[in-house]
Structure 1
Amino acid sequence: MVEQKKKVKPRDYAIEQIRWYIKENKLGPHAKLPGERDMCDMWNINRSTLRAAIKRLVEENILYSEIGSGTYVAPPKFRMNLQDAKSTTESMRGTGNFLWTEVVDSYFVEADECISDKLCIKKGEKVFCLIRIRRKNNTPFRIEKSYLNYSLCEGIENHNFTDESLFKILKSYGLILDSGNEDIGIVYAGKEEAEMLQIAEGDHIFGIHGIISDINGRVVEYFDILTRADQVQFSSILRI
C-alpha cells in the first residue's frame, strides 16, 4: 500500500492507491474493482475523495464505470494503424475490447459536387448513405458516415448493418477493398456529435475523411468519421 504523505492531496493519494491496487493484484482489462465502501475502508478516505479519484482515472482511460454495476479496469486505447484499410471490426478483433454497432440512419441521396468528386461518379447519381455509432465496451467512441457508390452494390440497403460487417457485405458483391487515402485533423464536437459520443460540446475530437477503392481501382466508399480522442490511438510505421 502507498503511504500517504502530508503534502499529497487526498484525491492524488486515492489515485495512487487505486493504481497500486491494480498493479499489486495484477488486474487486467475489465477486472472489477472493490465497491466504494470497501475501498474507502481500505485506504481511510471519504467517498467524495474516492469518486473524484475514479473520475480522474476514467478521464485518463485507466478505469471505466458502469452505472449500477461498478468500476472496472479499462483496456488500452484502441490502436488504429494509419497504413491499413481494415474495418473497425477487424481492427478491434483481438484487442480485449467489446464492439457494438448502432445504426443511426441509412438513406439515399443524389451525389452533389463533393460526393461525386470523391466517388468518381456523375453528379446526381444514386448514393447510399449509412451512419453508425461504434461503441467500445459500451462507450460510444466513433461516428462513421459512409457514402457508397450504389451502382456497385445495389440492394445493400436490405442488409442488417447492426450485426453484419460493412466490409463483408461489400465483399459479397465482389468488392475486395484494397487501398485508399485519408486525412486526419482535430475538430470541435458540435452539439449533436457531443450527444452521440457522450462528451461535452466543444471537446476536441479527431475528424477523419477519405476514400476506399477496390482491387480494380474503383472508388467504393467515401467516409467521414468523428472519433473521441480519449478512446483511440493512431499508429504508423516510418520508412526511410
Structure 2
Amino acid sequence: MERIKKIPPHDRAVEQIIWYIEENNLKPHAKLPGERELCEMWNLNRSTLHQAIQQLIEEKILYSEKGSGTFVAEPVLERNLNDGTSTSESMRKMGYFLWTEVLLSRVEECSEYVSHKLGIPEGSKVFHLERLRLRNNTPLMIETSYMEYSRCQGIEEHDFSEESLYHLLEEYGNKLGAGEEWISITTATDEEAKKLHVNPGQQMYYLTGFINDINDKPVEYFKIVAKPDQVRFSTGLTREASE
C-alpha cells in the first residue's frame, strides 16, 4: 500500500500565505497580519512561518519594512518569450503603466555587426533608438533597437516617450511577423548601472533578438539589459508526441 506523503510545514506555510493573499484579494503594498496572528490562524510555529516569509521576500512576492511589518510586493514585469508582445503591452496586460525615457533617437550609419543582424550592407542608414523603461520611477530595463531606415523614413521625428515603436512600424507598412530572442546573463557597465540605479558589475538579464516582417526579413534588431529583481521571463513548453 502506497503511503501518502505529508506536505512539509515550510511548504504548507508558503502555500497558506499565497492562498491568503489571493483569497483576500490583497493588492500591492497591502499589509499582512502579524506573524503571531498568522501562526495562530494556521497552527504553525514561528520559525516555520518566518522561513516561509523570507522565501517569499526573496521571490519578490512580499517585502518587509523594519518596524512596520510585511507587505505584498508589486508584481515583477513578466515577459513571455513566445508571444511577441512589446514591453508596454506586457505591462498593460498586468494592469500597470510603463514610463519611457528616450535616451537616444537618431539616424546613423550601421556597423558591420548591425548590418549582419538586419541583413543590409554595412554603412546603410539605420534608425537607432534607446529607451529606459520605468515603473513608478523604478528603472526596469534599457532597450536598444536598430531598424533599416529606408523602411521607416521620418520615424525619428516621433516622440517615443509617448508613442509605440511597433505601432509606428506597422503604420510605415512593415507588417510584423515572427522573430527570435536569446536570453543570457551580463554585468552592468558603469553607464548602465547609473541609469538603472544598480552597482557597476551587478548581474543583469541580457536579451538579444530580432523581429521579422511577414516575409521573414528582419525589421528590428534589439538588445535589452534588464534588472533581474524587476523582470521575469517565461516561455511555454511543448512536447512532441512519441511514435
- Equivalent residue for 1:86? 85
After superposition, residues 33-182 of structure 1 pair within 5 angstroms as 33=31, 60-63=59-62, 73-182=72-181
Distance in 2 (CA, whole Å) between partners of 1:120 and 1:90 is 27
1:199 alignment partner AA: V
- Equivalent residue for 1:187? 186
Q: Percent identity?
A: 44
**Structure 1 residue aligned with 2:28, among 14, 30, 39?**
30
Moved more, 126-135 or 187-196: 187-196
TM-score by length of 2: 0.72
User: Taking structure 1 as reference, are residues 97 and 130 closer, same or farther at Cα in structure 2, changes over 3 Å only?
Assistant: same
After superposition, residues 201-220 of structure 1 pair within 5 angstroms as 201-220=200-219
- Equivalent residue for 2:238? 238
Distance in 2 (CA, whole Å) between partners of 1:58 and 1:73 is 9
Give the RMSD, CA atoms, in angstroms.
Answer: 3.4
Asked if the contact 2:147/2:219 (under 8 Å) is kept, the reply is: yes
Distance in 2 (CA, whole Å) between partners of 1:55 and 1:133 is 31
User: Taking structure 1 as reference, are residues 115 and 24 closer, same or farther at Cα in structure 2, changes over 3 Å only?
Assistant: closer
2:197 alignment partner AA: Q
Asked if the contact 2:107/2:156 (under 8 Å) is kept, the reply is: no
Distance in 2 (CA, whole Å) between partners of 1:175 and 1:145 is 19
Question: Deviation at 1:56?
Answer: 9.8
Residues 184-217 of structure 1, C-alpha deviations (whole Å, 9 max, x = no match): 1111112211121112222211111111111122
Distance in 1 (CA, whole Å) between partners of 2:122 and 2:130 is 21
Q: How many residues align?
A: 209
Residues 138-162 of structure 1, C-alpha deviations (whole Å, 9 max, x = no match): 3211110001110000000011101
Distance in 2 (CA, whole Å) between partners of 1:126 and 1:194 is 29
- Equivalent residue for 2:46? none
Moved more, 116-125 or 102-111: 102-111
Question: What's the secondary structure of 1:157's corresponding residue?
Answer: helix
Question: Deviation at 1:110?
Answer: 0.7
Which residues of structure 2 form unaligned runs of 5+?
A: 1-13, 38-52, 65-69
Question: Deviation at 1:86?
Answer: 1.1
Question: Deviation at 1:79?
Answer: 1.8
2:234 alignment partner AA: F
Residues 64-95 of structure 1, C-alpha deviations (whole Å, 9 max, x = no match): 79xxxxx9632332221112221111222221
User: Taking structure 1 as reference, are residues 203 and 217 closer, same or farther at Cα in structure 2, changes over 3 Å only?
Assistant: same
Which residues of structure 1 form unaligned runs of 5+?
A: 1-15, 43-53, 66-70
Question: Deviation at 1:28?
Answer: 2.8
